[in-house]
Amino acid sequence: AQSVTQPDIHITVSEGASLELRCNYSYGATPYLFWYVQSPGQGLQLLLKYFSGDTLVQGIKGFEAEFKRSQSSFNLRKPSVHWSDAAEYFCAVGAGTGGFKTIFGAGTRLFVKA
Amino acid sequence: GAGVSQSPSNKVTEKGKDVELRCDPISGHTALYWYRQSLGQGLEFLIYFQGNSAPDKSGLPSDRFSAERTGGSVSTLTIQRTQQEDSAVYLCASSLEVTQYFGPGTRLTVL
């Protein structure tokens, strides 16, 4: 069965520091992988996605993620965090085409300190 | 519209009352999804529609929950005889293929 694990419930980084949020998935085939961000009181916004091809994916707001098949991971990174990046981040995995049930991780809440 | 919209944005109701939550997907998106997000929790899948049919209802927590979609567009999630544990944010998403786009959610509070 598909599953997504985000091992860190919350992370605190200093503004300007680098960030890496971890995500591990379980899926038998090549997955579709997503990172979403949810600011307080808001819906989820797509940061980036991986379907195939280059394993390093660039997203919005300066985020990137790297798909590593051997580690079943899709970690999210940003070289320099801004205070406005404080939010909840969700990793997700999906399969198939058209409508399907995307499985979300439990989320990692990012706190940014000045 | 440009994005997924949901109404109402907030709903406060008394225990035992019925509520209806509405989702307007992005125009042309064939798939529509409902999720529930309880305080501090991740997303709990409820149901998804492909067109007007719901191939996967496995996430509906009880028979008090139902959903319909008409005309391949608007969807309504109905919760009958609401309970306090139904209090949560209900998120709707739509997609044309794989990527889902989310609405802002409806915050439901059951007193």
> CB-based contact (8 Å) between A35 and chain B?
no
Mean pLDDT of chain B: 92
CA nearest to A107 within chain B: B42
Task: Flag if A94 and B98 touch (Cβ within 8 Å).
Answer: yes
pLDDT level of residue A99 (50, 70, 90 thresholds): very low
Reported as a single tens digit per residue, the pLDDT across A19-60 is 999 999 987 777 889 999 999 878 899 999 998 889 999 999
Q: Which of B98, B99, B109 to mutate to test the interface with A (most CBs of A within 10 A)?
A: B98
Residues in chain A, how many?
A: 114
pLDDT level of residue A95 (50, 70, 90 thresholds): low
CB A66 within 8 A of CB A49: no
Choice between A95 and A41, residue whose per-residue pLDDT is larger: A41
Q: Give one DSSP letter per residue of A31-98, joined into a string.
A: PEEEEEEE-TT--EEEEEEE-SS-SEEE-GGG-EEEEEGGGTEEEEEESS--GGG-EEEEEEEE-SSS
Percent of chain A whose pLDDT exceeds 70: 95
**CA gap A80, A14 in Å, rounded:** 9
Reported as a single tens digit per residue, the pLDDT across B13-29 is 999 999 999 999 999 99
Which pLDDT belongs to residue A62? 96
| Mean pLDDT on A78-97 | 89
Among A46, A51, A106, whose Cβ lies nearest the Cβ of B42? Answer: A106
Reported as a single tens digit per residue, the pLDDT across B52-77 is 998 878 889 999 999 999 888 999 99
CA distance B81 to chain A (A): 26
pLDDT level of residue B1 (50, 70, 90 thresholds): low
